[in-house]
């Protein structure tokens, strides 16, 4: 294999490794965003239930 081909292969491998690392970081960030969204939805649901219970008791 010539030196030029080796250089091209090295660059391609580096590019692929960087892309894989970026994809892993993006996946981790999206997992965090989804966890935050689920936590917000859970809090909203809990607060809504408390509000509805308070309203049904006539304690607006």
Q: Mean pLDDT of residues grouped by 10 in the chain (60 residues)?
A: 79 96 98 98 98 86
Flag whether 38 is in a domain: yes
Residue 8 located in a structural domain: yes
User: What is the reported pLDDT for 37?
Assistant: 98
Q: How far apart are the first and last CA of the chain?
A: 80
* Residue 60 belongs to a domain: no
- Predicted pLDDT at 4: 75
DSSP string, 18-49: HHHHHHHHHHHHHHHHHHHHHHHHHHHHHHHH
Residue 59 belongs to a domain: no
pLDDT digits (tens, 9 = 90+) for 16-32: 999 999 999 999 999 99
State if pTM tops 0.85. Answer: no
Domain encompassing residue 45:
1-54
How many domains, the chain? 1
What pLDDT sits at residue 58?
81
């Amino acid at each position: 294999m010539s030196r030029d081909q080796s250089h091209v292969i090295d660059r391609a491998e580096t590019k692929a490794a960087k892309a894989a690392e970026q994809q892993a970081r993006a996946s981790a960030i999206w997992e965090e965003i989804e966890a935050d969204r689920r936590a917000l939805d859970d809090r909203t649901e809990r607060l809504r239930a408390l509000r509805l219970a308070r309203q049904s008791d006539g304690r607006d």
